[in-house]
Structure 1
Amino acid sequence: MSTVPPPRAPLTRVFIGLWDGMNFIRRLTLNLLFFGLLLLIALVVLVAMFGRGSRPAPLLERTTLVLAPEGALVEQYRTDPFMRALAESGGGGVGEVQLRDVLRALEAAKTDDRIERVLLRTDRLTFSGYAAMREVADAIGEVRAAGKQVVAFGEYFGQQQYLLAAQADEVYLDPEGGMMLEGLSGYRQYYREALEDKLGVDVHLFKVGEYKSAAEPYILDGASPESKEADLYWMNDIWQRHIADIARVRGTTPEALNAGIATLPQGIAAAQGDLAQYALAQKFVDGLKTREEVEQLLVERGVADEDAEGGFRQVSMRNFLAHVTPAGAAAERRAQVAVVVAEGGITGGDQPPGTIGGESTSALLREAREDEHVKSVVLRVDSGGGEVFASEQIRREVDALKAAGKPVVVSMGDVAASGGYWISMNADRIYADASTITGSIGIFALVPTFPRTLEKIGVRTDGVGTTPYAGAFDLTRELQPEAGQAIQAIIDRGYRNFIGKVADARGRSADDIDQVARGRVWSGTQALERGLVDELGGLRTAIAKAAELGGLEPDRFRVRYVEKSATPFGRLLSGFIASRAGGLLVGHSDLARTLLARAVPRAEQDLRLLESVMTPQPGRPVKAVAYCFCEL
């Protein structure tokens, strides 16, 4: 005997119908996404198996190399190959250009008979630091010295970008553009009133060294006298060198340039507010021309090409590098100088490119140590520092390389300060550019507590503990003086450890190092005078020294960057997007445009670093930090 279920109420039937409809839409959406992904994977596999990516056009005689880097000048890409390929297919830049690529292109252009001249567009290059800019400027000067004409054009030049343009035989500026020198500054925001008075956050600072000013914005309303004294000292050194570098190639004197800056308002007024005319009157540029006029000039001097943008025979840096064989690849490929890049803030664990990880960067150094083909290592450092423990992990790997008989040479980039110096100090040789920012030997800890903040919204913390110090580091409670004493003891010990390690590495006494430490920042030249670095020089000089220490003959070794490799699937996807088929598929996709890679601003890195070091860990009530907010 069957039982017939009772009829459902009308309202129940409505809800059940809606639920069934939603389930159907959900399953349909998931199935469409699934089959779409399968189709994309199938296309990738087909292109990988049968497709052919675009090959660079043949490089002809009398070609102009167009060097027009856009975005930030970085030591290594912060984005993965897939995202870069997607960005380029979408018609935009990747927001960053590698220093090594710019240097390699200029090095090759010096001796390549097919390159007749170089067109420089530096006004779209984001300033990163003076050390990297000076190295590129030197490379441009070498191209010019090799007899290749260099023409620079820009719509607007910043005073840092102008250092590169000034190296050219001829510098042209758009008639509606502008350029001026104004000097260096270092201003930042101070949050004490906002945090303490407005929000009720009490920030407790523990440090050693009167010049260790990185955490001052959280406890003061303005820069301390010691901070202003130290900052102005190294900034003046870098600025005067910048002025001297420009004066040397522009046929003037630093005194004349400084005089022009001193009368900047009067000079602009005399040009009736026309910044292009002002730049011409100051002899910063050789003429005012539009882009079309510069292109016509290159047509007349070079070879006309109606199919090329601008009408003259040219090759972009990217396509030119496709024709360039890596240095040393044809001779003794098995003998290598490995380059490991340490760029960004130093934090614990496994970190992506653009950030230094205690474990991930150590793993790269370990890979170089275990590779029998690597004879020596260059550690390229561009970092304001970070966590002390992570820095120590990397320093130990440098020591392990030396113990394995592989010389280590440090090449300091724009910044190698605080923790950046910690990971550098044990190298066999330390090179810095004259305008590198380094030093800042000191550590600190920040402990914010929020009981007053919580009280503002009616929340209070109370309870019990089994000992007087159980819960002493709870950020929702007031920091007990005894707990503060313990934290200061940790920081004092960390500072003694820091200067002791520097003393051992540099063959000096701890007292000697303390005199030049205490958190004070130095330029590369000032650091050389104080024995913190061994020589002045850039990345290329450091690589040559590493090869020499490794017993390798000049031009008979390969330079290999040891970096994290993309996953096989990631390489497959990036190869697909770089192909013609992939470009057609995503080149005009709105989705692709929304996924364009963006460089991470330094300010965001600093904030993420602070967030990381304030996160408590078991057994570590406070993280010791060796960091320097000293980038320009």
Structure 2
Amino acid sequence: MSERKPGLLRRLFVGSWRVLDFSRRFILTVLFLIAVMLIVASMLRPDLTLSDRTVLVVAPVGAVVEQYSSSVADRAIARLTGNEVPEVRLRDLVEALDGAARDQRIERVLLRLDGLQSVGMASARELGAAVDRVRAAGKEVVAYGDWYLQGPYYLAARADEVYLHPSGSMVLEGFSRYRTYFADALAKLGIEPRLFKAGTYKSAGEAYIRNSASEAAREADLHWLGDLWRRYLGEIASARQLDAAALQASIDDLPTVVEAAGGDLARAALDAGLVDGLKTLDEVRELLIARGVRDAKGHSFRQIGLQDYLTVLEREQVALRRSAAPIAVIVAEGQIVDGEQPPGNIGGQSTSALIRAAREDDAVKAVVLRVDSPGGSAFASELIRRELELTRRAGKPVVVSMGDVAASGGFWISTDADRVFADASTITGSIGVFSLWFNAPETMAKLGLSTDGVATTEIAGAFDPTRAYDPRVGRVLQSTVDRIYIDFLERVARARNTSTDVIDAVAQGRVWSGAQAHEHGLLDELGGLDAALAHVRQLAGLPDDAGFEYVEPELSTFDRFLQNFAQSALVHAAQDHGWMLPASWMPAQARSDMAMVRHLFQLAQAGQWSVYAHCQCGDVN
């Protein structure tokens, strides 16, 4: 009797399984071989060392931030694929530049600013001061760019020499603030917006009810923006030894200036004295070789990059560290939002927890809150402010250091400090409150939709945005806004030791530059983070060299593993040998899966068992 032939479905299943099994074995084998190669390469690669006459190359990419908004996993993946994380922390740049000023092994600094896309004026001024400290230490600073944006150029202008690619570009055009207005668009969609506000100059919600800026908004914006521009222009002119009025005139007549240079933007920058020369990158490389020493391969000058130099500094500082730092620095950056929030946003609960942890830590003697926020939730702001108040009551000094922006809710959380510092170009104030309400009955009608029903009270259902606007809703919202504004004024007045009438006169939702806010008594001193740290040391009775440490959410074991691996010798070896994974090696779905694995890992650590039903199939294209 012949053996029965397996069915088609079974044969397909078996065949598919064999293909999958072969693929699995092949991928694991390849990964194993890569790991072996990396281990061998790391054994051959010398430890990261720093020789004399080294050039520190500072080449930031993306935006200057107070803290990373990307996850540890995203940064690790970027490192593994040889890509740059599009963020660089202000603290890292300042630490590297200050390290270079002290470090006898660093001969000069090269600023490569092409990749720097965004830097706030307050941050730029802190970095500019750090560049000045390098030069004051007798070390040359050279800046080079294929092109310069306005913000990065502020840093370049502080260098001893500024070079631009002959085919590059650089245009100073001044500062502006333009918004998109939605009133007509919302009307066409049948959406009815209503704005409830406290403060004549509180313009944050205007874009939804108007088609252009109000006169009050124009007046206030031009006042603070003009102050920032005059400071920017004056400091650039001073650094480049130019006449500020002449520079302003050339910017105002930009078309004529460019035409005179034959349409060559690089030549126009050179003619204006904004750069010292037009050179290609290889020409700058040869210039630095001639002034210094060649690297081990003989192809370039002896150099170390920003991240590698930070690793060297961290390694040496850890060796010297004897005890926990007595000053806790807590970063509050981004929109202020209720609840728990990851870095990049300020969570009412999560940021409060960091402040509370510092207060309850006996090793912490003082707290500095570094604020870079345009505001957000009033409730979340109050939670954070309350924690700072409790910290002061516990006998620990609290000092606020304002970064690029500390306005509205960002100002609210700053009120209960022993001292408030801001840069002259910090954007602050905006002591005001607003609320927006939208109704869309016309939109519903256009779609052939309607609402109907019953209610047990006259007010029930009035807050349904699909129904016609009920004036009682407006009364509730305006009353709430007015109450919060009064609370805001009272808190600021109490903190500034003055009356609410005095504060109300300079509040009204109006935005100020740091210098203007200081003139109006809204903050105590002008200065950066260093000034805030120096003052909090005095308040806490700490020595001048007392250390500080950033207090941030504790990393999970899985995230620590990723971070350490991304900084390991294996990854350095892969970079040296060009063995990086392609940028597209991990699709979006796989990144999502990795996030889920991290979550499962955390649950397992906590002793929680979970069952997941997941397709693992990704997007269908």
Q: TM-score, normalised by structure 2?
A: 0.87
Unaligned runs of 5+ in 2: 1-6, 592-621
**Is residue 522 of structure 1 aligned with residue 522 of structure 2?**
no
Tell me the equivalent position of 1:6: none
Give a deviation string over 1:342-384, Cα, whole Å, max 9, x none. 0000000110001000000000111111111111111000000
**Is residue 146 of structure 1 aligned with residue 137 of structure 2?**
yes
Structure 1 residue 539, shift from structure 2 partner: 1.2
Structure 1 residue 54, shift from structure 2 partner: 7.4
Please give the secondary structure, in 1, of the residue aligned with 2:365.
strand
Counterparts in 2 of 1:465-614, with a 5 A limit?
465-555=455-545, 557-579=546-568, 581=570, 587-592=580-585, 594=587
Aligned counterpart in structure 2 of residue 134 of structure 1, from 125, 134, 137: 125
User: After the TM superposition, which of the residue ranges 174-183 and 569-578 deviates more from structure 2?
Assistant: 569-578
Tell me the equivalent position of 1:446: 436
Structure 1 residue 524, shift from structure 2 partner: 0.2
Please give the secondary structure, in 2, of the residue aligned with 1:379.
strand
Aligned counterpart in structure 2 of residue 349 of structure 1, from 325, 330, 339: 339
Counterparts in 2 of 1:417-436, with a 5 A limit?
417-436=407-426
Please give the secondary structure, in 2, of the residue aligned with 1:307.
coil
Q: In 1, distance between residues paired with 2:169 and 2:331?
A: 36
Tell me the equivalent position of 1:185: 176
Kept after mapping to 2: 8 A contact 1:119/1:150: yes
Q: In 1, distance between residues paired with 2:318 and 2:27?
A: 45
Give a deviation string over 1:86-128, Cα, whole Å, max 9, x none. 1022011010000000000111111111111111112221223
**Is residue 208 of structure 1 aligned with residue 198 of structure 2?**
yes
Kept after mapping to 1: 8 A contact 2:325/2:549: no
RMSD: 3.1
Kept after mapping to 1: 8 A contact 2:119/2:151: no
Q: In 1, distance between residues paired with 2:319 and 2:537?
A: 15
Kept after mapping to 2: 8 A contact 1:79/1:597: no
Q: In 2, distance between residues paired with 1:24 and 1:597?
A: 25
**Is residue 113 of structure 1 aligned with residue 104 of structure 2?**
yes
Kept after mapping to 2: 8 A contact 1:335/1:552: no
Tell me the equivalent position of 1:232: 222
Tell me the equivalent position of 2:69: 78
Kept after mapping to 2: 8 A contact 1:72/1:125: yes
- Aligned AA for 1:385? G
- Aligned AA for 1:371? D
Tell me the equivalent position of 1:324: 313
Q: In 1, distance between residues paired with 2:44 and 2:350?
A: 32
- Aligned AA for 1:105? A
Kept after mapping to 2: 8 A contact 1:189/1:217: yes
Kept after mapping to 1: 8 A contact 2:142/2:159: yes
- Aligned AA for 1:466? T
Q: In 2, distance between residues paired with 1:512 and 1:55?
A: 64
Tell me the equivalent position of 1:315: 304
- Aligned AA for 2:165? D
Give a deviation string over 1:561-612, Cα, whole Å, max 9, x none. 00012210122233334445568599324544656999xxxxxxxxxxxxxx
Q: In 2, distance between residues paired with 1:596 and 1:286?
A: 49
**Is residue 161 of structure 1 aligned with residue 152 of structure 2?**
yes
Unaligned runs of 5+ in 1: 1-15, 599-632
Please give the secondary structure, in 1, of the residue aligned with 2:401.
strand
Q: In 2, distance between residues paired with 1:526 and 1:180?
A: 28
- Aligned AA for 1:242? Y
Identity across matched positions, percent = 50
Kept after mapping to 1: 8 A contact 2:338/2:379: yes
Q: In 1, distance between residues paired with 2:13 and 2:192?
A: 50
Counterparts in 2 of 1:19-34, with a 5 A limit?
none
User: After the TM superposition, which of the residue ranges 559-568 and 583-592 deviates more from structure 2?
Assistant: 583-592
Please give the secondary structure, in 1, of the residue aligned with 2:541.
coil
Aligned counterpart in structure 2 of residue 410 of structure 1, from 400, 403, 408: 400
The structure-2 alpha-carbon separation of the partners of 1:215 and 1:55, relative to structure 1 and needing over 3 Å to count, comes to farther
Please give the secondary structure, in 2, of the residue aligned with 1:553.
coil
Q: In 2, distance between residues paired with 1:302 and 1:407?
A: 47
Structure 1 residue 333, shift from structure 2 partner: 2.4
Structure 1 residue 450, shift from structure 2 partner: 1.5
- Aligned AA for 2:89? Q
Q: TM-score, normalised by structure 1?
A: 0.85
Please give the secondary structure, in 2, of the residue aligned with 1:385.
coil
- Aligned AA for 2:360? E
- Aligned AA for 2:547? R
Equivalent residues, number:
578
Q: In 1, distance between residues paired with 2:430 and 2:590?
A: 32
